[in-house]
Structures are given as C-alpha cells and as structure tokens.
Structure 1
Amino acid sequence: MKHTVLRTVCAGALGGVLALTGCTTGSHTDHAGHDGTASSDTAPSGTPTEASHEGSHTEDAMDHAAMGHPMDGGPAPAGIAEAGSPTYPVGTSVVPEADHMEGMKGAAATISGAYDTFAYAVDYTPTTGGEPVRDHRWVVQEEIADAGTERLADGTEVVLEAEHMEGMTGAHATVVASTDKTVYMVDLEADGMRMTHHKWVVESEISPAG
C-alpha cells in the first residue's frame, strides 16, 4: 500500500472523500503518484507479470484533477476467498509502504481483511470522462466483469466492476501487471481521521507496526 498524516483532511471532512494523488487522472505518457511502474522485463509478451514497487517516478508537470475515494470502502466483493493463514491476520497493526494516495505511506493502519486472489494494476478511462488513469493499484479478480478464475495476462482488455473511485465502475481497462500475493483491506488512521476498508494493498506493500 515518510508521510505520517493524510494531507487531504479538509476534503475528507467536508466531502466525505479523500483526494487521491496515487490514482489520479493523468496522461498515458507519464505516470505520477505510484511507487513504481508495472514491470514485464522478464516475462514474454502477453503473460502475467508481478508489478514492481521499487522504481522511481516523476511527478507530472500538469495539474491533475483528484478523484474521490470513499471514507468507507465497503465490504469485500462477493466470491472472494479469505486467506487461510495470512502473514497479517485481521486486526494486525501494520504500516503501509505503498503511496496509493497522499499520506498513506507510513500511516497507522490495521488489517480489516485478507484474501487469496489475483490483483491487477490497470490502465483505464473513467466513465465520467477526463484523462486516462495509468497504473491504478489494485483491482482484484472479483472486481472484473467475466474474469473467470484464471490469472489474466498483461494486455487483457477488461471491464471494471470495482467502486473504488468515481468513474471506475463500468470503465474499460487494460491489465498492465498482476500478482498472486495475499491482498489486504486496511483501515487507515492519521491526524484524527479514519478511513475504513481501503482496497487494496498487497503483502509486499505493508510492514508490521513497531
């Protein structure tokens, strides 16, 4: 899933949403706001790859319109399998290493769900219009229309059923990377604010608290 506070307090308190910087609108020629870009360096074209979280990124010079993220992400999607013995069981205090949204990295967090599924980084164009969103992390197999049970290859064209942000449900998307690591929902708390059931962070994006 340096920063210890969510710097979107005003937007969250007044409008009930957090402004994303990690999953913002942006051009397909530059990706800003994620911890890395999808990597397919070692896999043949068209095969699933792990998304890399160790690359650097450059902030787009353009001003990006933030997309709203609900303060309560709601329940896990129907049909998703709970992890049998996750590294971080529900209730575990963790520290997100991901920066999917401003202030997420390093915030106090608690695991609120752990699941075995495939998670995907996707490029998509919001149904509400605007610039395409590049390398959104993550959507899971159960949030993709007619996804079946097999891991989807990079480059697969899909339709999203996730409701993480305005304009995502029904959006056409392209899979750019995937992982089979345990995926988690987390509750985030910082500066007096609490965000519940954030979807999603994968195991490589969190560390144990303390």
Structure 2
Amino acid sequence: MDNLLEWKKQQRKHLIAAREAIPAEIHQQWSRAITGFLKQGLQQTQKMIIGIYWPFRGEYDPRPIARYFLQQGAILALPEITGKNEPLCFREWSPDTPMKSGAYGIPVPLETPIVRLDALIIPMVGFDQHGYRLGYGSGYFDRTLATYERQPLTIGVAFELQRLDSIYPQAHDISMHYVVTETGIFRTKDHQLMPASILQDTPQ
C-alpha cells in the first residue's frame, strides 16, 4: 500500500464514526453479549491481575465485567499515560477508587499501586482476520506489551462492524491472543482468527 498512514487515518475516522452511530439500544445489546462471552471465557480469575480501560468514543464499556471479575477475586487495573512515547502504567482500580482526570480527559486512579498484568482487555478501533488491532495511532498498548518478558493474555474487544480484512500490520504491531465481539470468542492461531469457547492462559 502506497500510503499506509493515510489509509489508517481514514479507517480510524470511518470506524469511530460508525461505532459512535450505533443506536443506544443496539450498543447495549451487543455490549451485554461481549460481557457474557468474557464471563464464559475467563472463569478462573481469583488473584488474577486484569487490566481494563475506561470507555471512550463509543467503545464497549468493560465496567460491568469488571464488577464480575472483582466478585470472583480478581485484581483490576486501569492505564495511565505518563508520557507521549512512554509505555502505559497500570494502577489498581475498584469502583470506589478516587480518580483524577488524565490524558484526553480519561479518568485514571489517584496514586494507587502500579501493578504488572496477567491479562489485558484492550479496546480496538478496528481488527483484522489475523488478530491484529487498529488503535488510535499512538502506540501505547504496543509499547506497553513490549516491556513484558512474558506477555499477559491479550483480549481485544470490538464490535463486528469494526472487522477489516487486514490492517497491514508493521513490525511493531502485536497480534491479540483473542478477540471478543458480540458474536463470540475468537482465538488467533496460525495467524488466523478461529472460533473458540474459552480464553485460556497460554494460547499457542
């Protein structure tokens, strides 16, 4: 592709607009389905440290599944942007955690402990048939994952209307172990998304 950056810019614009245009009732229906698949897929979460995110621009809202994980004994964390070209740091979070306004106006925990993750639920602007994620273009999640000697379990979440044939991944792009949409769980195997029923700890 001659101008990949421009193509990705246009795809982001189109996909975010499409996501923001989803009617509220449909968005809630699809979100409930994703929550159900995450419950089905991640059943052994006691003492697991799971990174989530604060919803932005029509993204799937992970707070309902967060409450479920907390009930199951998991430790949850939210990302904080510490610098333009820095990896994210993840701070412990629960619904009663004091919050402050972070980058882009997104709430972040106020001075709670920084943790290392066992699993990470990642929002996606788009995704492709090979398990690669199209993000907002800042590279925060890719830089963060590159700091881990042993990768946390990565679970990309999106709606099916965000699926692309390819995002034309570059060397720094890291594919998701799993993708969850309103239609089900998909595992990245041999560089292809395949239907799955669980989100196991060490996918091959």
TMscore range, shorter length: under 0.3
TM-score, length of structure 1 as denominator length: 0.26
Higher helix share: 2
Higher strand share: 1
TM-score, length of structure 2 as denominator length: 0.27
Q: Which structure has more RCO (C-alpha within 8 Å, separation ≥ 6)?
A: 1
